[in-house]
Structures are given as structure tokens and as C-alpha cells.
Amino acid sequence: MGNSKSGALSKEILEELQLNTRFTEEELSTWYQSFLKECPSGRITQQEFQTIYSKFFPDADPKAYAQHVFRSFDANSDGTLDFKEYVIALHMTSMCKTNQKLEWAFSLYDVDGNGSISKNEVLEIVTAIFKMINPEDVKCLPEDENTPEKRAEKIWGFFGKKDDDKLTEKEFIEGTLANMEILRLIQFEPQKVKEKLKEKKP
């Protein structure tokens, strides 16, 4: 998406990212230098993204979840993320407003990209989320949501859908905004990612 491979971030991209995220010019410039060190080509592959994500979750298996996060942010489906897509990914998964986060969450759960969500797609993402939860923490979950299957069933039940029904983006966002329990169930709050982001601030 037009990032130069030189050491400086272009003014246009810098301004656009400042407008669309809460990151400062200083933060973005520092991250860009780090990004170029890790990815000299100026683009990050899915494998590299998974490796970076794994550093945030050393005690878990984030590979499947990282694959889905990568897919949801690979805007042009070219199999790589440029710096802009990468920063938007960090922003959306950690600190954006609820409405924006839900638009992203819908694209995350819409695994096949057909514009609607099935119960199987909910189960696929929830299963990926469970792989990142510490086994000790899983033991503390309520009985009706302590497995991926139970949690997917609970989410689908809140939307009042039959097993073979589909969920549109409008239904997904409106339903979740109307029921904070759904919001809690569909997301994995990456606390370690937030902490890591804070550490990277100059």
C-alpha cells in the first residue's frame, strides 16, 4: 500500500495512521524502524506475523488465532501486511472504539469472507481463542462456557439463531451492543499485547 522501503515513514501514511489510530507520530516512527528491522522488505508474511504474535503469548498456542487475525487485516488478500495494515491491526485488536472493534470482529468471525457468519465459523474462532487461554484460567470459567463448543453454543443462543442460520454484520453488531455478555464471549482481550505495546512506547 505504498510504503517506501527507506528509513522514513511517508508523510501521507503517517498522517493517515495518526488520524485512524491513537498512536503518536513518535510511536509510529519508532515502530516503523523496528518493523523494517524485522521485515526489511517492508512487508510481513503470515508466518512472520505468527512468530511476532507468539512472542506475546509464550505460554499458549496463538498460531490459529494469529492466522485469522492476519486474514482479517490482509485488506488486499496478497498474503502480506504492509506497515499500515500492521498498525491498523494493532490498533483494532487493542485500543479502538467498540463499534470499530465489532466491525473488525465480524470480519474475524466471517472466516470464508462471504458476508455472514455461521455457527461453525463461531466455533472455529472460539477454538482458536481457547488455545491462547492458560489451562489454569480455563478451569475458572463458568461451567456453560469452559469448552469451545459450550462457548460457541452460548454465543449462538444469545443471537437466537438456529444451528443452520446465518448472522449478518448488522445483526452481529446490534446484538453484541445490546448484550455485553456476547461482547465478553466473542473476544480474547490480549492483555499481554497491550502490555507489550506500552513497553514499545519511547
Does 30 or 201 have the greater pLDDT score? 30
CATH number at residue 164: 1.10.238.10
DSSP 95: T
Lowest mean pLDDT across 89-103, 107-121, 149-163? 89-103
Domain boundary among 35, 66, 96: 96
Residue 134: the pLDDT is: 78
What's the CA gap between 82 and 70, in Å, rounded? Answer: 11
**Residues of the chain with pLDDT > 70: what percent?**
87
Please, what's the b/e burial string for 8-28 (b: 16 or more CB within 10 A of its CB; e: otherwise)?
ebeeebbeebeeebebeeebb
Domain boundary among 62, 96, 130: 96
Residue 7: the pLDDT is: 60
Rounded to a whole number, what is the distance in angstroms from the first to the last CA of the chain?
A: 26
List 81's β-bridge partners, or say none.
Answer: 44
Q: Are 111 and 172 members of one domain?
A: yes
Does 79 or 53 have the greater pLDDT score? 79
Mean pLDDT over each residue of the chain, to the nearest integer: 83
Q: Are 70 and 115 members of one domain?
A: no
Type of residue found at 36? L
Containing structural domain, residue 183: 98-188
Lowest mean pLDDT across 39-53, 94-108, 122-136, 161-175? 94-108
Best CA proximity match to 93, nearest among 198, 202, 191: 191
181: Cβ–Cβ under 8 A, 6 or more apart, which residues?
A: 158
3-state secondary structure of 7: coil
Q: Are 55 and 87 members of one domain?
A: yes
Q: Are 62 and 110 members of one domain?
A: no
Domain boundary among 63, 96, 129: 96
Best CA proximity match to 86, nearest among 129, 131, 48: 48
Q: Is the pLDDT of residue 152 over 80?
A: yes
Give the pLDDT band of residue 177 (cuts 50, 70, 90): very high
In a domain, 196, yes or no: no
At residue 165, φ and ψ (nearest 5 deg) are -75, 165
Q: Are 92 and 105 members of one domain?
A: no
Number of domains in the chain: 2
In a domain, 118, yes or no: yes
In a domain, 4, yes or no: no
pTM of full prediction above 0.95:
no
Best CA proximity match to 87, nearest among 78, 79, 96, 97: 96
The per-residue pLDDT for range 64-103, each reduced to its tens digit, is 988 998 998 887 788 999 998 888 877 776 665 778 788 8
Cα 160 to the chain's mean position, in Å?
25
Best CA proximity match to 115, nearest among 129, 103, 127, 99: 103
> Secondary structure of 102-115 in the HEC alphabet?
HHHHHHHHCCCCCC
Give the pLDDT band of residue 6 (cuts 50, 70, 90): very low
Q: Are 91 and 46 members of one domain?
A: yes
In a domain, 172, yes or no: yes
3-state secondary structure of 43: strand
